[in-house]
Structure 1
Amino acid sequence: MRYLILFLFCVLHSVLFSQNTAYNPIKSKGKLYEYAEFAKASNSNLSINDILNGESNLDFNPLTSENQSLGFTSDNYWLNFKLENTTNQAQTYYLQTARPITDIANLYQISNNNYIEYNSGDAIAFNDRQVQHRKTVFKLELPKNSVQKFYIHLKSDGETLNLPLLIQTENEFWKSNYNEHLFLGFFYGLLFLAAIVYLFFFTSLSNKTFLYYSIYVLSIALLQSALDGIIFQYILPSGGYLNNRTVLITALFSNFFLLKYCERFLKVSQRAKHISIAFKVLYITIIILGVLLFVNEKTKEFVYPISNVNGLLSLILILVTLFYLRYKSYKIDVFFSVGIFFLVIGLLGFVMNNLSLLPNNFITLNSAKFGITFEVIFLSLSMSNLIRDLRLEKEKSQIIALNKSEEISELKSYFMSNISHELRTPINAIMGIADDELSKNPKGEMLKNFEVIKHASLNLLSNINDILDFEKIEKGELKLRTEHFNPKTAVIQISDNWKRMAEKKDLKYSFEIDSTVPEVLEGDPERFTQIINNVLSNAVKFTHFGKIDCNIKSTTLENNIAEIAIIIKDTGIGIKDSQINNLFNSFGQMRLNDKRSFGGVGLGLSITKHLIDLFKGSIEIDSEENRGTSVTVSLPLKVIQQNKIEVENPDISKAEIKVLVVEDNTMNQLIMKKILKTLSINNFQIASNGVEAIKLLENNTFDVILMDLQMPEMDGYETTTIIRNDITMHSIKNIPIIAVTADATDTAREKVIDVGMNDYITKPVNRDLLYRKILTHRKNELKIA
Structure 2
Amino acid sequence: MKPFLLLTYIIAAFSFSQKPVFNPEVSEGKLYSYAQFTNVGKANYTIEEIVSNELLNYQDLKSENHDFGFTSDTYWIKFTLENTSSEDKMYYLETARPITDIANLYSLGKTIEEYKNGDNIPFKDRAVQDRQIVFKIPLKSNSQQDFYLKVSSDGETINLPLNLYTETAYILNNYKQQLFLGLFYGVLLLAGFIYLFFYRSLKNKAFLYYGLYVFFIALMQASLDGFVHQYFLPNGGFINSRMVLISALLTNLFLLKYCEYFLNVKLNLPNFQKFYQIIYVAISILFLMVFINQKTLEYAYPLSNLNGLLSLILILATLFTLRYKKYNVDIYFSIGIFFLVLGLLGFVMNNLGLLPSNFYTLNSSKFGTGFEVIFLSLSMTNLLRKLREQKEKSQNLALKKSEEVSELKTYFMSNMSHELRTPINAIMGLVETELADKKKSINDREKYQIIRNASLSLLSNVNSVLDFEKIEKNQIKLKNEEFNPSIVLRRLSDNWKFEAEKKGLNYSFEMDSEVPQNIIGDEDRLVQIINSVLSNAVKFTSSGDVFFKLKCIEQPENKTQFAFQISDTGVGMTDEVKYGVFDSFNQMRKDHKRNFGGIGLGLTIVKHLIKLFDGKLDIESLENKGTDVFIEIPFTNASKSVTINETDKNLKQTQLHILVVEDNKLNQMVMRKILNSFPNLSFSEVNNGQEAIDTLQNENYDIILMDLQMPIMDGYEATEIIRSGTLGEIIKNTPIIAVTADAMEETRKRVLDLGMNDYMTKPVKRELLFQKISNCVIH
TM range (shorter): 0.5 to 0.7
- After superposition, residues 429-448 of structure 1 pair within 5 angstroms as none
Alpha carbons of structure 1 residues 47 and 629: separation in structure 2 relative to 1, 3 Å: farther
Match of 2:506 in 1: none
* Partners of 2:197 and 2:405 within 8 A in 1: no
Identity of counterpart residues, as a percentage? 49
Query: What's the counterpart of residue 129 of structure 2?
Result: 132
Partner of 1:329: 326
Distance 1:293 1:579, change over 3 A: same
The amino acid that maps onto 2:744 is S
- Which residue of 2 is the match for residue 276 of structure 1? 273
Whole-Å Cα distance in 2 between the matches of residues 50 and 20 of structure 1? 20
Closer, same or farther: CA 93–292 of 1 in aligned 2, 3 Å: same
Aligned residue type for 1:96: E
Aligned position for 1:719: none
Do 2:660 and 2:706's aligned partners in 1 also have CA atoms closer than 8 Å?
Answer: no
Query: 1:470-509 maps to which residues of 2 (within 5 A)?
Result: 473=470, 475-478=472-475
Counterpart contact for 1:590–1:598, Cα < 8 Å: no
Partner Cα separation in structure 2 for residue 179 and residue 213 of structure 1: 29
Q: How does 1:452-531 map to 2 (within 5 A)?
A: 473=470, 475-478=472-475
**Which residue identity is paired with 1:34?**
S
Structure 1 residue aligned with 2:441: none
For the Cα contact (< 8 Å) 2:708–2:740, is it kept in 1? no
SS in 2 for 1:263: helix
C-alpha change, 1:566 and 1:327, in structure 2 (3 Å) is: farther
> What residue is the counterpart of 1:689 in the other structure?
none
Assess, with a 3 A threshold, how the Cα gap between structure 1 residues 408 and 140 changes in structure 2: closer, same or farther.
Answer: closer
Identify which of 108, 119, 124 aligns with 1:122.
119
Give the conservation status (yes or no) of the 8 Å contact 1:574–1:623: no
Letter in 1 for 2:295: K
Q: Which of the numbers 181, 194, 206 marks the counterpart of 2:178?
A: 181
Contact 1:41 1:77 in 2 (8 A): yes
Computed over aligned residues only, the root mean square deviation of the Cα atoms, in angstroms, reads 4.2
Alignment of 1:240-259 (within 5 A): 240-259=237-256
Please name the residue that 2:195 is paired with.
Answer: 198
> For 1:42, what is the secondary structure of its paired residue?
coil
Corresponding letter in the other structure for 2:120? A
Q: Quick check: 1:470–1:607 contact (8 Å CA) kept in 2?
A: no
Instruction: Output the amino acid matched with 1:169.
Output: T
Pick the aligned partner of 1:167 from 164, 168, 190: 164
State which of 294, 301, 304 in structure 2 corresponds to 1:304: 301
Residue 348 of structure 2, aligned match among 348, 351, 372: 351
Alignment of 1:576-595 (within 5 A): none
* Structure 1 unaligned blocks of 5 or more: 1-15, 411-468, 481-554, 581-588, 613-617, 635-785
Whose Rg is larger? 1
CA deviations on 1:549-585 (whole Å, 9 max, x unpaired) are: xxxxxx98569999899999994538959999xxxxx
Number of the residue aligned with 1:24: 23
Q: Which letter does structure 2 place at the counterpart of 1:215? A: L
* CA distance 1:627–1:397, change in 2 (3 Å): closer
Counterpart of 1:33 in structure 2 is 32
Change (3 A) 1:18 1:224: farther
Distance in 2, matches of 1:596 and 1:384, equals 42
Deviations 1:334-383 (A, max 9, x none): 11111111111111111111011111111111111111111111111111
- Corresponding position of 2:257: 260
Q: How does 1:550-629 map to 2 (within 5 A)?
A: 557=558, 571-573=658-660, 598=714, 605-608=743-746, 623=764
Shift of 1:115: 1.1
Q: Secondary structure at the match of 1:176?
A: helix
SS at match of 2:165: strand
Please state whether the residue corresponding to 2:291 is helix, strand or coil: coil
Q: Could you say if the C-alpha distance between residues 80 and 321 of structure 1 is closer, same or farther in structure 2, counting changes exceeding 3 Å? A: same
- State how far apart, in whole Å, the 1-side matches of 2:760 and 2:250 are: 50
TM-score, normalised by the number of residues in structure 2: 0.55
Distance 2:406 2:159 in 1: 51
Tell me which of 56, 59, 68 is aligned to 2:57. Answer: 59
The residue number in structure 2 matching 1:436 is none
Q: Is the 8 A contact 2:197 2:401 kept in 1?
A: no
Distance, in Å, in 1 between the alignment partners of 2:640 and 2:211 is 50
In 1, Cα distance between equivalents of 2:639 and 2:226 = 51
CA displacement 1:117-157 (0-9 Å, x = unmatched): 10100100111011111111101011111111100010100
- Cα offsets for 1:294-333 (capped at 9, x unmatched): 1112111111111100000000000000110011100011
Query: After superposition, what is the alpha-carbon deviation per residue over 1:721-747, rounded to whole angstroms, capped at 9, x for unaligned?
Result: xxxxxxxxxxxxxxxxxxxxxxxxxxx
Alignment check: 8 A CA contact 1:573 1:625 kept: no
- Structure 1 residue ranges, 4+ long, deviating more than 3 angstroms after superposition: 16-19, 400-410, 469-475, 477-480, 555-572, 574-580, 589-605, 608-612, 618-632
The one-letter code sitting in structure 2 at the alignment partner of 1:21 is P
1:110 corresponds in structure 2 to: 108
1:372 matched to which residue of 2?
A: 369
Q: 1:560 to 1:248 in 2, by over 3 A?
A: closer
Unaligned runs of 5+ in 2: 1-14, 408-465, 478-555, 560-633, 672-704, 717-738, 751-758
Aligned length: 474
Of the candidates 235, 242, 257, which is equivalent to residue 232 of structure 2? Answer: 235
Residues 346 and 364 in structure 2, CA contact (< 8 A), matched pair in contact too: yes
Instruction: Between 564-573 and 191-200, report the one with greater CA deviation.
Output: 564-573
Q: For the Cα contact (< 8 Å) 1:17–1:35, is it kept in 2?
A: no
Deviation track 1:518-568 (CA, whole Å, cap 9, x = no partner) reads xxxxxxxxxxxxxxxxxxxxxxxxxxxxxxxxxxxxx98569999899999
- Asked if structure 2 preserves the Cα contact closer than 8 Å seen for 1:92 and 1:169, the reply is yes
> Quick one: which amino acid aligns to residue 152 of structure 1?
L
1:68 is displaced (CA, Å) by 0.9
Which one-letter code corresponds to 2:129 in the other structure?
Q
Give the whole-Å Cα distance in 2 for the aligned partners of 1:200 and 1:565. 57
Per the alignment, residue 208 of structure 1 pairs with 205
Q: How far is the alpha carbon of 1:621 from its aligned partner?
A: 8.1
| In 1: Cα distance, 2:58 partner to 2:297 partner | 29
- Deviation at residue 52 of structure 1 after TM alignment: 2.4
Is the 1:37–1:60 contact (alpha carbons within 8 Å) kept by the matching residues of 2? yes
| Alpha-carbon separation, structure 2, partners of 1:28 and 1:620 | 44
The answer to whether the Cα contact below 8 Å between 1:96 and 1:166 also exists between their aligned partners in 2 is yes
**Offset at residue 20 of structure 1 (A):** 2.4
8 Å CA contact retained: 1:42, 1:76: yes
Task: State whether structure 2 residue 406 is matched by structure 1 residue 319.
Answer: no
Q: Helix, strand or coil: the match of 2:72?
A: coil
Rounded Cα–Cα distance in structure 2 between residues aligned with 1:130 and 1:192: 31
- Preserved CA contact (<8 Å) 2:741 2:763: no
Does the aligned pair in 2 maintain the 1:18–1:62 contact within 8 Å?
no
Deviations 1:246-295, CA, capped at 9 Å, x for gaps: 10111011101110111111111110011011111111111111122111
CA contact under 8 A between 1:574 and 1:624: conserved in structure 2? no
Shift of the 235–187 alpha-carbon distance from structure 1 to 2, 3 Å rule, reads same
Structure 2 distance, partners of 1:623, 1:121, is: 38
Structure 2 match to 1:76: 74
Q: CA-to-partner distance for each residue in 1:690-738, whole Å, 9 max, x for gaps?
A: xxxxxxxxxxxxxxxxxxxxxxxxxxxxxxxxxxxxxxxxxxxxxxxxx
Deviation (angstroms), 1:400:
3.8
Q: C-alpha deviations, 1:82-136, integer Å up to 9, x for none?
A: 0111111111111111110000000000114x21110100100111011111111
CA distance in 1, matches of 2:121, 2:767: 36
**How do 1:734-749 residues align onto structure 2 when only pairs under 5 Å count?**
none
- Is 1:292 equivalent to 2:289 in the alignment? yes
Given that 1:39 and 1:78 are in contact with CA atoms closer than 8 Å, whether structure 2 keeps it comes out as yes
Measure, in 2, the Cα distance between the counterparts of 1:590 and 1:320.
58
